[in-house]
């Protein structure tokens, strides 16, 4: 799960500055690496680096990113490694030169890599499925054997991509001298939205992962790119949108609404904020039904994602709401940190408890979800150390018991604290007095109220049902083995980094 953005201006040449601003707004979607590619007079200008957006780009980098169009990416590693070589956007010089940014995860990567080598005669230089997706698109465009392309050529190539590629992908690409384009997988698992901004100086167009990147920069939302659709915007500002998949089906990832997206975003016409309000209402109803005889003195959210749900839950239960946990805003989101060691270390650094809100009270802690249990265990202990009488725990999402294969770092069910455990056993594992989960039917209802045209969501991490229909146990075993190798590599890297830091100190 990453953040992507593309901007084309019909007049201005300072696109990179606005891409930088958009990536900063989308920073919550990826903190491992950041990159920008712009185009000016038929040439690409690129800067990408590991780390946050503010650290990846300095003044000298920004002044060298020339052009009136460009694309950007913030990376959250789920496939491949965390090396700088796999930071995006990627680039191929044939045909025409294509820069490319991808959010999601492919599920037939091995087959595609073999096809590209044996049939398309294309070389893949990294372990990233994004590079594979780029080369599939580039190969299909090259088959046209045209000196100059038009919008239909791009759209026809996307049609062929949909026939060859499986999995989750929202993408933005750029062809120098021509324009930018974007497309979304036939299930619409990952989001992509289009907007425009008209000024006295001309019109700008933006494609982005979330609406907040558009609205924060003064863009008017035009539309969500629908599952299977592709959009092409040429240098003159002409927009072409076409359905390119044979059997598209709206099946967006429900975890976007639980955790990843910002509450001020709207995805597929669904307000993330209103969804989380409804999650709080439904969870409160379940608590009232099952814990009606339990005295709760205060509801405390685990910042930041659970705040909206916790506030509404407290309102429904008529219980005091308090910000009893203070977050250090200079620590990254722990869920998307590479490596369990970093996650454990960062939880201790990220949060501190206000003793007055805990001492002698029955406290209900509310989190958006419980995945590995790392945060939950430490916060329950923190609450007890602060003097809480009882510590109850509520998850606004159901128990995570199955791997996510569509771009979220949940590759092995052995990492999940709820794996092969009952709710009571998870409660004991995190050290709480009581634990309650949102029901999946209630979660689906909460999201679906925003757009009743969407009849199905990808809920695979909760129910083990994969909307692409191509995931079997052997596939899950393979990604679990790959995950184990990746974790080992990351842990070795982290240990080396810690040794270097200790030596410096």
Determine the pLDDT at residue 495: 47
Output the DSSP codes for 61-82. Answer: HHHH--BSEEEEEEE--SSS-S
C-alpha distance from residue 266 to each of 79, 173, 190, 223, 224 (Å): 27, 23, 13, 11, 9
Distance CA 132, CA 123 (A): 9
Decide: 426 and 417 in contact? Cβ < 8 Å.
Answer: yes
- CA angle 125/131/133 to nearest 5° reads 140
Average pLDDT per 10 consecutive residues for the chain, totaling 505 residues? 94 89 97 96 95 94 95 80 78 96 96 95 93 98 94 98 98 97 98 94 94 97 98 96 97 97 97 98 98 95 95 98 90 53 63 95 97 94 97 98 91 89 97 98 98 95 96 90 68 45 32
Residues 6 or more apart whose CB falls under 8 angstroms from that of 491 comprise 339, 340, 341
Determine the pLDDT at residue 381: 96
Distance CA 457, CA 447 (A): 9
Output the DSSP codes for 386-421. Answer: TT-SEEEEEESS----S-B-SSSSB--GGG-TTTT-
Beta strands in 141-297 (DSSP E): 167-175, 179-184, 193-199, 202-208, 220-224, 229-234, 239-243, 266-267, 270-271
Determine the pLDDT at residue 502: 34
Q: What is the dihedral of CA 65, 71, 76, 81, to 10 degrees?
A: -70
Write phi, then psi, for 475 (nearest 5 degrees): -60, -45
Cis peptide bond N-terminal to 95, omega within 30: yes
Counting other chains too, the contacts that 379-382 makes at CB distance below 8 Å and 24 or more residues apart are 379/302, 379/325, 379/347, 379/351, 380/430, 380/431, 380/432, 381/431, 382/325, 382/351, 382/352, 382/353
Average pLDDT, the chain: 91
Determine the pLDDT at residue 134: 98
Determine the pLDDT at residue 504: 30
Give yes or no: 2 in active site.
Answer: yes
Q: pLDDT digits over 173-215, tens only?
A: 999 999 999 999 999 999 999 999 998 878 999 999 999 999 9
Determine the pLDDT at residue 12: 75
Distance CA 431, CA 160 (A): 52
Q: Which of 2, 427, 459, 461 is catalytic?
A: 2
Q: pLDDT digits over 45-69, tens only?
A: 999 999 999 999 999 999 999 999 9
DSSP secondary structure letter of residue 458: B
pTM of the model: 0.91
Distance CA 406, CA 370 (A): 19
């Amino acid at each position: 799960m990453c953040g992507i953005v593309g901007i084309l201006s019909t007049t201005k040449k300072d696109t990179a500055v606005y891409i930088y601003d958009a990536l900063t707004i989308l920073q919550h979607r990826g903190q491992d690496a950041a990159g920008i590619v712009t185009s000016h007079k038929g040439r690409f200008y690129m800067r990408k680096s590991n780390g946050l957006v503010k650290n990846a780009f300095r003044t000298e980098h920004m002044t060298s990113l020339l052009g009136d169009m460009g694309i950007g990416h913030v990376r959250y590693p789920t496939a491949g490694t965390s090396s700088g070589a796999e930071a995006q956007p990627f680039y191929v010089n044939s045909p025409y030169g294509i820069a490319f940014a991808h959010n999601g995860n492919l599920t037939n990567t091995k087959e595609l890599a073999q096809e590209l080598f044996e049939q398309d005669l294309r070389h893949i230089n990294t372990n990233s499925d994004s590079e594979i997706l780029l080369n599939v698109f580039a190969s299909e465009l090259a088959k046209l054997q045209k000196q100059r392309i038009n919008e239909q050529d791009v759209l026809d190539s996307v049609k062929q991509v949909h026939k060859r590629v499986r999995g989750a992908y929202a993408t933005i690409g750029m062809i120098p001298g021509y324009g930018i384009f974007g497309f979304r997988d036939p299930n619409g698992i990952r989001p992509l939205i289009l907007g425009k901004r008209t000024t006295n100086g001309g019109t700008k167009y933006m494609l982005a992962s979330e609406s907040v990147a558009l609205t924060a920069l003064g863009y008017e939302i035009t539309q969500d790119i629908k599952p299977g659709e592709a959009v092409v915007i040429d240098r003159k500002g002409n927009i072409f949108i076409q359905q390119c998949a044979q059997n598209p089906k709206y099946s967006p990832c429900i975890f976007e609404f639980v955790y990843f997206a910002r509450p001020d975003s709207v995805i597929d016409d669904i307000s993330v904020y209103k969804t989380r309000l409804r999650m709080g209402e439904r969870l409160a109803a379940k608590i009232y039904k099952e814990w009606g005889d339990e005295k709760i003195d205060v509801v405390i959210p685990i910042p930041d994602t659970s705040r909206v749900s916790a506030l509404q839950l407290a309102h429904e239960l008529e219980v005091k709401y308090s910000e009893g946990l203070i977050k250090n805003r200079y620590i990254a989101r722990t869920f998307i940190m590479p490596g369990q060691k970093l996650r454990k270390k960062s939880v201790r650094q990220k949060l501190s408890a206000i003793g007055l809100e805990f001492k002698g009270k029955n406290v209900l802690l509310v989190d958006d979800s419980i995945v590995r249990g790392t945060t939950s265990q430490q916060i329950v202990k923190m609450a007890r150390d602060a003097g809480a009488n009882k510590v109850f725990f509520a998850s606004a999402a159901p128990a995570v018991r199955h791997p996510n294969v569509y771009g979220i770092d949940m590759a092995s069910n052995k990492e999940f604290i709820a794996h092969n455990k009952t709710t009571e056993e998870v409660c004991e594992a995190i050290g709480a007095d009581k634990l309650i989960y949102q029901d999946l039917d209630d979660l689906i209802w909460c999201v679906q109220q925003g757009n009743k045209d969407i009849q199905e969501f990808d809920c695979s991490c909760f129910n083990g049902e994969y909307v692409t229909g191509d995931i079997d146990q052997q596939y899950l075993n393979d990604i679990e083995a790959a995950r184990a190798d990746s974790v080992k590599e990351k842990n070795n890297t982290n240990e080396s980094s810690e040794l270097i830091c200790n030596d410096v100190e």
